[in-house]
C-alpha cells in the first residue's frame, strides 16, 4: 500500500477521504495496462460487484489479474454491455450501487436501474448520451468536460500520434509523418491535443471543426484551417477526433485516394458508416482497404480508437482517477437531481493543488 501511495499520490490522497461503507461499485471500464493499478486498488479497498470490460481495449493479462479479485464480464459487442449492467443491478436489488463507466452505456437502460444511486461518467460521448436520453432514476456526475480532463487529453493526444507513427512506419516502410499532409477533424480536448503532439514534431496539420469558435481557436493557435471538403481532399492522413460521425459514406468521393483514416474518439463512431463499404484485408493486421466507386482509402483498427494501442506509464493517469474519486464525493455530498452534472471546479482545485505540489521541481 505504501508503494501505491508513492506511485499515485494524488489519487491515493483523495480516495482515502471517501466514506464508502454504505455503497457498492460496478465498473464499465478499459481493462488495459494504464488503468490496471487503479482498478485493482479500488476493488481491493471497496465492495465492488463486478467489472465490465470494453471489448476493443481489453488486455488479457489485465483481465486475468483482475479476475483473481472480482467478477469480470467480457462483452463480445457493445450491445452486451447494457445487458450486463442490468443483470448486475437485478442481482443486487438491496444494494446502493455507484456505477463508474466510460461511454454512457447505462443511458439506454437508465429507467430500469432502480438501485443505482449515482453514475460517474468519464467521456464526452457518454456525457452526451446521458443528456440525450434523459428520464433516468439517478444523477450522473460527469468529468468529461472538467478542466482536469484536459490534462488527460494531452496524454491521449501524444499516445494517438505515437500510434499513428508506428502504423505508418510499418505500412509504408519507415515513411515519416513529416512528409504527409495531415488533417485533424474536431478541435476539442482530444483534437487540440493531437495537434499539439504533431506540433512537437514540427508538423502543422490542417484543422476542421463544425463549431466556428473552435475553428477560429485553431487558427489563433497557428494551425491551418480549411473547409471539411477541402481537408478530406488533400489529407494523406485523417484523424477523426469529434466523438461523433466525422467522415461518412457520402464523403467517400471526397477522401483523397489512398488516404489513411485513424479514430481518436472514445468509441467506434468516427467512421462507422464507412465500415459498411466493400473492403479487403491488407498484409498489415491493423489496416484494411475500403473501396468507394473508383476511390479507395484505408481505415486503421477497424474504426476503433487507436489510443489504446499505445502503452503509457500508469503514473500519468494519477490525476484522472483522482477526478473520478471527486465525482463520487460530489455525487454523495450533494442532493443532486436526476440530471447530468459537470464536476464543479471547486472539487477540481484540490486535485490540481495536489498534482502541482507533487510535481514541483526539487532543487
pLDDT in tens, 191-233: 999 999 999 999 999 999 999 999 999 999 999 999 999 999 9
CATH number of the domain residue 346 falls in: 3.40.50.1480
Residues 302 and 318 in one domain: no
CA distance 150 to 100: 19
Name the one residue in this structure whose C-alpha cell is 468521393.
Answer: 253
Amino acid 156: pLDDT: 85
Residue 146 in domain: no
Residue 8 in domain: yes
Q: pTM (2 decimals)?
A: 0.77
- Say if residue 363's pLDDT is above 50: no
CA distance 120 to 240: 25
Domain count, the chain: 2
Amino acid 310: pLDDT: 67
Q: What is the pLDDT of residues 290-329, one digit of tens each?
A: 999 999 999 999 998 887 676 667 888 899 999 999 999 9
CA distance 37 to 34: 8
Residues 121 and 160 in one domain: no
Residues 304 and 328 in one domain: no
Average pLDDT over residues 240-256: 94
Parent domain of 31: 2-138+313-358
Contact present, 104 and 121 (Cβ < 8 Å): yes
Residue 38 in domain: yes
Residue 354 in domain: yes
% pLDDT > 70, the chain: 98
Residue 147 in domain: no
Amino acid at each position: 500500500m505504501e508503494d501505491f501511495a508513492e506511485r499515485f499520490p494524488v489519487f491515493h490522497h483523495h480516495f482515502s477521504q471517501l466514506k464508502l461503507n454504505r455503497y457498492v461499485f460496478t465498473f464499465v471500464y478499459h481493462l488495459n495496462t494504464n488503468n490496471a493499478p487503479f482498478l485493482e486498488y479500488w476493488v481491493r479497498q471497496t465492495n465492488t460487484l463486478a467489472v465490465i470490460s470494453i471489448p476493443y481495449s481489453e488486455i488479457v493479462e489485465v483481465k486475468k489479474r483482475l479476475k483473481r479479485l472480482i467478477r469480470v464480464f467480457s462483452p463480445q459487442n457493445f450491445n452486451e454491455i447494457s445487458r450486463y449492467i442490468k443483470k448486475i443491478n437485478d442481482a443486487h436489488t438491496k444494494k446502493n450501487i455507484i456505477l463508474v463507466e466510460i461511454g454512457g452505456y447505462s443511458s439506454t437502460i437508465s429507467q430500469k436501474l432502480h438501485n443505482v444511486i449515482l453514475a460517474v461518467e468519464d467521456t464526452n460521448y457518454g456525457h452526451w448520451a446521458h443528456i440525450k436520453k434523459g428520464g433516468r432514476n439517478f444523477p450522473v456526475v460527469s468529468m468529461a468536460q472538467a478542466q482536469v480532463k484536459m490534462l488527460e487529453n494531452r496524454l491521449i493526444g501524444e499516445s494517438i500520434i505515437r500510434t499513428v507513427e508506428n502504423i505508418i512506419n510499418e505500412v509504408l516502410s519507415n515513411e515519416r509523418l513529416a512528409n504527409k499532409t495531415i488533417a485533424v477533424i474536431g478541435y476539442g480536448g482530444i483534437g487540440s491535443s493531437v495537434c499539439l503532439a504533431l506540433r512537437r514534431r514540427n508538423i502543422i496539420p490542417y484543422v476542421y471543426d463544425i463549431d466556428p469558435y473552435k475553428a477560429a481557436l485553431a487558427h489563433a493557435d497557428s494551425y491551418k484551417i480549411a473547409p471539411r471538403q477541402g481537408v478530406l481532399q488533400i489529407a494523406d492522413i485523417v484523424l477523426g477526433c469529434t466523438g461523433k460521425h466525422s467522415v461518412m459514406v457520402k464523403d467517400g468521393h471526397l477522401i483523397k485516394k489512398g488516404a489513411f483514416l485513424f479514430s481518436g474518439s472514445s468509441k467506434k463512431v468516427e467512421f462507422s458508416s464507412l465500415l459498411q463499404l466493400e473492403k479487403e484485408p491488407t498484409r498489415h493486421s491493423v489496416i484494411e482497404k475500403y473501396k468507394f466507386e473508383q476511390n479507395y482509402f484505408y481505415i486503421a483498427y477497424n474504426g476503433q480508437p487507436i489510443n489504446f494501442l499505445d502503452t503509457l506509464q500508469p503514473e500519468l493517469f494519477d490525476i484522472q482517477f483522482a477526478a473520478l474519486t471527486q465525482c463520487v464525493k460530489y455525487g454523495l455530498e450533494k442532493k443532486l437531481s436526476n440530471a447530468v452534472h459537470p464536476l464543479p471546479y471547486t472539487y477540481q482545485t484540490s486535485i490540481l493543488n495536489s498534482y502541482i505540489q507533487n510535481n514541483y521541481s526539487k532543487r
